[in-house]
């Protein structure tokens, strides 16, 4: 979705929060019932939409505001994580869902970003997929076609080829970082390696994708970390 956290209508959100979480509604009402003042140099802009940046309740409040739309989906595969959505199934239910969801999101102040949307063919024939693309592009004109091998869901690779490429890329980045970290003291270098750079992202990939299928890559990454630990 385009700039979703800054665009969602607060009046709708407040109504949903009041219905579903009355125990935190007073706090949400205090934060969102009046326009926010955005200061840019000498200019003050009144903002009456969106979730405050840095609000600890922000992800929860946004998720509740779009939950009704998410639960209206009829496609057999339906995953939402905040403003990131993945639908799967045959072309008919997916197209019907898109035609219904786009105006429903518009009522909330939200818009699907067709430039960042992808369509992936899992089991259609080439001819059937061409027809499916034509149908989808009547709804999302700028949607791009991505090969099955590159499928990622929430940043996590799904199929073996994507896993191999992901692990190879992360190993290259890890090697580059460990070479540079040798230029500083061991303790801050180890702290940076553990908490920054690519390691948190790498751990997310290990937890969310079947990386155990690629033992060679995992062994190579283990050796990279071991070599650095011995040098430091």
Flag whether pLDDT at 175 surpasses 70. yes
CA distance 222 to 218: 6
The residue among 5 and 39 whose pLDDT is bigger is 5
Supply the pLDDT for residue 30: 92
Phi-psi map region of 124: left, alpha, beta (phi>0 left; psi -120 to 50 alpha): beta
Is the distance from CB of 37 to CB of 67 less than 8 angstroms?
no
How much of the chain exceeds pLDDT 70, in percent?
A: 97
Model pLDDT, residue 232: 59
**70 pLDDT higher than 90:** yes
Helices 91-107, 126-137: inter-axial angle, 10-degree rounding: 20
Instruction: For residue 21, give the 3-state DSSP assignment.
Output: coil
pLDDT confidence of residue 13: 93
pLDDT at 40 over 90: no
Is pLDDT at 163 greater than 70 in this prediction? yes
Q: Which of 9-13, 118-122, 181-185 has the weakest average pLDDT?
A: 181-185
Query: Could you tell me the pLDDT band of residue 37, with boundaries at 50, 70 and 90?
Result: confident
The model's pLDDT over 194-221, given as tens digits with 9 standing for 90+, comes to 776 667 788 888 899 999 888 988 898 8
Burial class (CB in 10 A: 0-12, 13-18, 19+), 181: buried
Could you tell me if 68 and 16 are in contact, meaning their C-beta atoms sit under 8 angstroms apart?
Answer: yes
Answer yes or no: is pLDDT of 172 > 90.
no
Own/partner contacts of 144-150, CB < 8 Å, gap of 24 or more, are 144/115, 144/117, 144/118, 144/119, 145/118, 145/119, 145/120, 145/121, 146/118, 146/119, 146/120, 147/120, 148/120, 148/121, 148/122
pLDDT confidence of residue 118 = 93
Residue 148: pLDDT band (50, 70, 90) is confident
Q: Residue 150 — very low, low, confident or very high, per pLDDT cuts 50/70/90?
A: confident
Q: Compare 82 and 195 and report the one with higher pLDDT.
A: 82
Per DSSP, helices labelled H in 126-214 are 126-137, 160-181, 186-195, 199-208
pLDDT at 197: 60
């Amino acid at each position: 979705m385009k700039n979703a956290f800054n665009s969602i209508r607060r009046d709708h959100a407040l109504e949903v929060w009041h219905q579903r979480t009355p125990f935190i509604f007073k706090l949400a009402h205090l934060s969102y019932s009046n326009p926010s003042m955005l200061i840019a140099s000498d200019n003050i802009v009144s903002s009456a939409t969106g979730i405050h940046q840095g609000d600890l309740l922000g992800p929860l409040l946004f998720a509740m505001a779009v939950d009704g739309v998410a639960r209206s989906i009829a496609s057999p595969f339906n995953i939402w994580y905040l403003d990131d959505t993945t639908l799967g199934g045959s072309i008919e239910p997916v197209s019907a869902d898109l035609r219904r969801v786009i105006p429903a999101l518009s009522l909330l102040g939200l818009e699907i970003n067709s430039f960042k949307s992808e369509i992936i063919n899992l089991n259609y024939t080439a001819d059937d997929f061409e027809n499916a693309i034509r149908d989808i592009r009547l709804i999302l004109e700028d949607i791009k076609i991505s090969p099955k091998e590159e499928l990622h869901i929430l940043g996590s690779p799904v199929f073996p080829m994507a896993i191999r490429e992901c692990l190879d890329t992360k190993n290259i980045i890890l090697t580059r970082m460990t070479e540079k970290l040798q230029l500083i003291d061991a303790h801050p270098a180890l702290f940076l390696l553990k908490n920054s750079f690519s390691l948190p992202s790498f751990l997310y990939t290990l937890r969310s994708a079947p990386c155990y299928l690629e033992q060679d890559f995992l062994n190579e990454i283990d050796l990279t970390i071991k070599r650095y630990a011995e040098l430091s």
